[in-house]
Amino acid sequence: AQSVTQPDIHITVSEGASLELRCNYSYGATPYLFWYVQSPGQGLQLLLKYFSGDTLVQGIKGFEAEFKRSQSSFNLRKPSVHWSDAAEYFCAVGAMDTDKLIFGTGTRLQVFP
Amino acid sequence: NAGVTQTPKFQVLKTGQSMTLQCAQDMNHNSMYWYRQDPGMGLRLIYYSASEGTTDKGEVPNGYNVSRLNKREFSLRLESAAPSQTSVYFCASSEFPGTDTQYFGPGTRLTVL
């Protein structure tokens, strides 16, 4: 069965520091991978997605993610975090043979000035 | 272009009352979804409609019913609300099920007393 694991429930970084949020998935078929961001009191917004091709994908707000098939991972990165990046981040996986996405439980990012 | 809209934004119910959450999308998407979000549990799929005329149970369907009224609208009904249904409810839509980006509404915050 499909599953998504976000091992870090809560991460705190200083503004300007680099960031990496981890996501591991379990699925036999070719995965379709997504990262979403949720600001407080808001719905989820797509940051980036990976379907095929280049394993390093660029998204909005300066985020990028790298698909590593051998590690079943799709980690989200940002070189320099801004205070406005404080939010909750969700990784999700889908596939051609399913009708739905499976979401991880989320990582809450706190940014200190 | 409003995207995905949800009504109401907030609702307080007493145990045993019924209500319907409304969702509409203007992107001509085929697939629509209802999730609930609870602290520490991420997003859990309640029901979904992969295409107009079909509905299927998700991970946590008990206590809920849905109607895909037409291609634009997908409603979620609580027949007899319970305190365990206190949550934030999100509607989402995508062009195709399983592999496509889901676009989320702003959410409905429901409290059941």
Mark yes or no for CB contact B42/A51 under 8 Å: no
Chain B residue with minimum CA distance to A5:
B42
On the CB side of B27, how many CA atoms lie within 13 Å of its CA? Answer: 20
Structure tokens, A4: 């998504």
Tens-place pLDDT, residues B19-41: 999 999 999 999 999 999 998 88
**Which pLDDT band, with edges at 50, 70 and 90, does B3 fall under?**
very high
Taking the mean position of all CA atoms in its chain, how far away is CA A51?
14
> What does the alpha-carbon distance between residue A46 and residue A90 come to, in Å, rounded to a whole number?
9
In chain B, what percentage of residues exceed pLDDT 90? 89
Q: In this structure, how many other beta carbons lie within 10 angstroms of the beta carbon of residue B84?
A: 11
**Per-residue model confidence (pLDDT) at position A13:** 97
Task: Identify which has the larger pLDDT, A1 or B75.
Answer: B75
**Which pLDDT band, with edges at 50, 70 and 90, does A98 fall under?**
confident
Mark yes or no for CB contact A96/B4 under 8 Å: no
**Per-residue model confidence (pLDDT) at position B39:** 87
Size of interface A-B (CB pairs under 8 A): 60
Pick B104's closest partner by Cβ from A43, A94, A106: A43
**Which pLDDT band, with edges at 50, 70 and 90, does B102 fall under?**
very high
Neighbour-count burial for B56-82, b at 16+ CB within 10 Å, e otherwise: eebebbeebebebeebbebbbebeebe
